[in-house]
Amino acid sequence: MTARTDRLAALERIARDRILILDGAMGTQIQDLKLDEAGYRGQRFADWATLIKGNNDILNLSAPAAVKAIHHAYFDAGADIAETNTFSSTSIAQADYRMQDLAPEIAREGARLAREAADEQETSTGAPKGVAGAIGPTNKTLSISPQVNDPGFREVDFDQVRLSYAEQARAMADHVDFFLVETIFDTLNAKAAIKALMDLRTEEGVDRPIMLSGTITDRSGRTLSGQTATAFWYSVRHARPWAIGLNCALGADELRPYIAELSRVVDTRILAYPNAGLPNDMGEYDETPEQTAAHLGEWARSGLVNILGGCCGTTPAHIRAIAEAASGAPPHQPARRERAMHLAGLEPFELSA
């Protein structure tokens, strides 16, 4: 057995006994570094032709020590699993900075840094530490036209998105335990990612458990492309995810009903990592670690979740408080449902025998 196989088996054993803890926001920690343009560029990109401040993923190449330190801070706070700093490490997303040709290297180094931090934590604590390869939604959507006067227009097609995701996943594969397709606002983009990961599994033997996390964009209870939480699940359940859930856009208070909805219908583990409340007028997050943990502790005691973490605005202090609040709570028991045909457009449809 490989070290990865042993680690996954250990995490699965732990998940049967308690709630696993995911890390918190990478972007929030990077913002706290207060890097200027030169800080993003480092030596390697000092003469790059375009501005790159805000390209958090490039720090995997220009400031790797800072990225690795963030991973360590989250592990020290109690995280069992760290996400790689690769949310935008696709050729599609990196094209904004004219760095599309660097996307595989950015993804590979992001995964390597997280793996190094996880391995060092395993050595020092004796506890398994997982790495989830973060695969973001890209900055292009397959379901919605960016041109209001041309609803049929798309900037990319399905195969372009699929190939971009495959390139990213292939680059990360040697260093990650999971692939986490996250912040899914467009289910068709997620399907492109799922197709890429399943092709890698069957054609190249790259077999990593898949986690999926959608985004309910507002109190309508729908993703940006219009699906309810249950319809989203029906659309992606063929991927047989190791865990599925929701992240971003909403704070815990607003997200709870949709996590509860998934917990009633999903037959695998439930994942949740909300924002630290809703942003204030300045775009900042005011919810304290204690406030976030109070919400998520209630979710844990109610048996809604298997994996808890934090998204925008959360910090190592939030993750420490969440871990403490979830301690001793029973993990969610996946739903058992009668055999039926499940279909979905914007709404779910179930046809029982």
Residue 157 has pLDDT above 90, yes or no: yes
Q: Which residue has the tokens 């309910």?
A: 216
| In the predicted structure, residue 95 carries a pLDDT above the cut 70 | yes
How confident is the model at residue 2, as a pLDDT? 85
DSSP class of residue 57?
G
Average the pLDDT over 253-280 and give the result: 96
**Residue 340 above 90 pLDDT?**
no
Q: Which residues contact 311 (CB under 8 A, 6 or more apart)?
A: 24, 25, 183, 247, 248, 273, 274, 275
| H/E element, 247 | strand 243-251
Instruction: Read off the tokens for 153.
Output: 């227009």
Residues 77-86 have pLDDT tens digits of 999 999 999 9
Whether pLDDT at 31 is above 60: yes
Query: Where does the pLDDT of residue 281 fall: very low under 50, low under 70, confident under 90, or very high at 90 and above?
Result: confident
Distance separating alpha carbons of residues 347 and 160, to the nearest angstrom: 27
Binding residues, as ranges, are 248, 311-312
Identify the band that residue 337 occupies on the pLDDT scale cut at 50, 70 and 90: confident
**Mutual angle of helices 316-326 and 64-76, in 10-degree steps:** 20
End-to-end CA distance of the chain: 42
Burial class (CB in 10 A: 0-12, 13-18, 19+), 47: exposed
What's the pLDDT band for 308 if we cut at 50, 70, 90? Answer: very high
Domain CATH number, residue 330: 3.20.20.330
Q: pLDDT category, 282, cuts 50, 70, 90?
A: confident
- The pLDDT of residue 162 is 98
* SS3 category, 222: strand
Q: What percent of the chain has pLDDT over 70?
A: 100
User: Model pTM?
Assistant: 0.96
Mean model confidence pLDDT for the chain = 96
**Residue 309 and residue 305: Cα distance in Å, rounded?**
11
203 CB-near residues (< 8 Å, 6+ apart)? none
Domain count, the chain: 1
Does residue 193 have a pLDDT over 90?
yes
Token duo for residue 163: 């190939």
- Which residue, among 281, 208, 217, has the nearest Cα to 241 in the 3D structure? 208
Let me know: does 158 contact 142? Beta carbons within 8 Å.
Answer: yes
Write down the pLDDT at residue 1.
54
Which are the contacts of 75, defined by CB distance < 8 A and separation ≥ 6?
Answer: 23, 82, 117, 118, 121, 129
Question: pLDDT tens across 202-234, in order?
Answer: 999 999 999 999 999 988 899 999 999 999 999
Looking at the predicted structure, is the pLDDT value of residue 268 above 70? yes
Round to whole Å and give the CA distance between 244 and 39: 36
pLDDT of 273 reads 98
Q: Could you give the residue ranges of the DSSP H alpha helices within the chain?
A: 3-17, 26-32, 37-41, 59-62, 64-76, 91-94, 103-125, 158-172, 187-204, 229-236, 252-265, 289-301, 316-326
Q: Which tokens hold the place of 201?
A: 């599994």
- Specify the pLDDT at position 55: 98
Identify the residue with better confidence: 337 or 94: 94
DSSP 8-state class, residue 196? H
Strands 243-251, 348-352: parallel, antiparallel or unpaired by DSSP?
Answer: unpaired
pLDDT of 339 reads 84
Q: What are phi and psi of 138, to 5 degrees?
A: 70, 170
Report d(CA 198, CA 240) in Å as an integer: 11
Q: Which residues are known binding-site members for Zn(2+)?
A: 248, 311-312
pLDDT over 60 at 342, yes or no: yes
pLDDT above 70 (res 249)? yes
Domain hosting 183: range is: 3-352
